[in-house]
Amino acid sequence: MSESLRFHFNVDGSNFTTAGQASVQVKKNLRELGIPADAIRRVSIAMYEGEINMVIHAHGGEADVVVYEDRIEIILNDHGPGIPNIELAMKEGYSTAPDNIRSLGFGAGMGLPNMKRYTDKMDIETELGKGTKITMCVNF
């Protein structure tokens, strides 16, 4: 299937109050496409966690959601510090979020694990000092 549809978002890293809005919007768009409800939910949770991560750790970045007829790809790109130890970062409960963020209830160390749990496939490409690219896929 060659046809695809792309939604593009600039995730603003300087404004914490707007974090998470792209995922709400993606949900609306996917509903209009008639994507199954369960897939929409998984995409929006994975997207939400990814967006929050980009804002907390990487001063924002870019998010692309590409819809195919049988799957949805989420591509998150940032130019942040990179992830030094992916295995550790994937552990539930492990977090490097600063205290001021934790006071809002974030930083529970569930971001990446949730992204993996709610998607069918997740790839992390990261380079210290350069940035991180996460590609996730939800089949339906």
Partner 1 sequence: MNTYEHSVSLDESRCTGCTTCIKRCPTEAIRVDGGHAVINSDRCIDCGECIRVCQHHAKIATCNKLDHLYDYKWRIALPAPSLYGQFEGLEDVDYVLQGLLDMGFNDVYEVSQAAEIVSEYTRLYLKTEGIKKPVISSACPVIARLIALRFPYLKDNLLPILPPMEIAAIEARKRAKAAHPELKDEDIGVCFISPCPAKTSYVKNGFGEYKSNIDLVVSMSDIYFSLLNLMSRDKVPQPVSNSGMIGISWAASGGEATAIFNDKYLAADSIENVVEMLDQIENGTIPQLEFIELNACTGGCVGGVMTVENPFIAKARLQTLRRYLPVSQNFLTDDKKYIPPEYFFEDIPDYKPMNRLGSSIGESMRMMSDIQKLRDGLPGIDCGSCGAPNCRAFAEDVVKGERSLESCIIRTHRIQNGEPVRKFDPSERKEDGI
In the complex, the residues that contact partner 1 under the rule CB under 8 A are 3-5, 7-9, 20-29, 31-35, 37-38, 41, 44-45, 48, 65, 67, 69, 105
Q: Give 118 or 134: the residue with its C-beta nearer to partner 1.
A: 118
Count Cβ atoms below 10 Å from residue 55 Cβ, excluding itself: 24
Q: What is the phi-psi region of residue 131: left when phi exceeds 0, alpha when psi lies from -120 to 50, beta otherwise?
A: left
Q: Give 24 or 88: the residue with its C-beta nearer to partner 1.
A: 24
Least distance to partner 1, CB of residue 69, Å: 5
Rounded-to-integer distance, Cα 104 and Cα 134, Å: 25
The pair phi, psi for residue 78, each rounded to 5°, is: -135, 165
3-state helix, strand, coil in the chain (%, to 5): 40, 30, 35
Least distance to partner 1, CB of residue 136, Å: 16
Least distance to partner 1, CB of residue 35, Å: 7
Q: Give 56 or 126: the residue with its C-beta nearer to partner 1.
A: 56
Least distance to partner 1, CB of residue 133, Å: 18
